[in-house]
Structure 1
Amino acid sequence: MVDKYTHDLGRKGARWEEVKRLVFATQTHCWRCGRYVDQSLPPNDRMSRTVGHVVALADGGRPLDLDNLRLEHRSCNSKAGRAMQARLRRSESL
């Protein structure tokens, strides 16, 4: 299992804020569902904007690589995170 430090790596600090701003400024649609992301929604709205990783950090994805970052709805990002956690739990039980 990926420890919390590794999982959070790259998602804090000035560089993370910079790459998030770039993603928000250059992308308009959720890469998971393909629908438009209303970037004016409040952060706690399930359809608000987030930045997701194409290759999950747990799978070796680079946390600050713009080629690995995409705009997502919060709900799409959460669903993908839950699927990743389930996959990791299954692999730990083998």
Structure 2
Amino acid sequence: MWHGLAHGVGLVSVIAAASATLATAWLLTRPSGARARVSTAGGVPSAIAAWGMARCAYLVPVPLTVPDGAHTTLRRLALVTLVAVVFVTSAVALL
């Protein structure tokens, strides 16, 4: 996972997420913190994209057949969707 975050597209997403985080922190120190929502809305998807790019090689196991993979894939998709909804909802609620 570390290699995926430190090289290639994962690194670009990490840099984008870090930049958005720094921009959010800076914008929150300003008198009007309303613009911080925009940078936060860019930072959260960038962090999720960085994780996805780092895990890209491991998202689909190699010895996978269609009948075996359908059930597993749907369970993983439901889990990832649930986690994304929790993170995005909590981020929006805190704003």
What TM-score results when the alignment is normalised by the length of structure 2? 0.27
Where is the helix percentage greater, Structure 1 or Structure 2?
2
What TM-score results when the alignment is normalised by the length of structure 1? 0.27
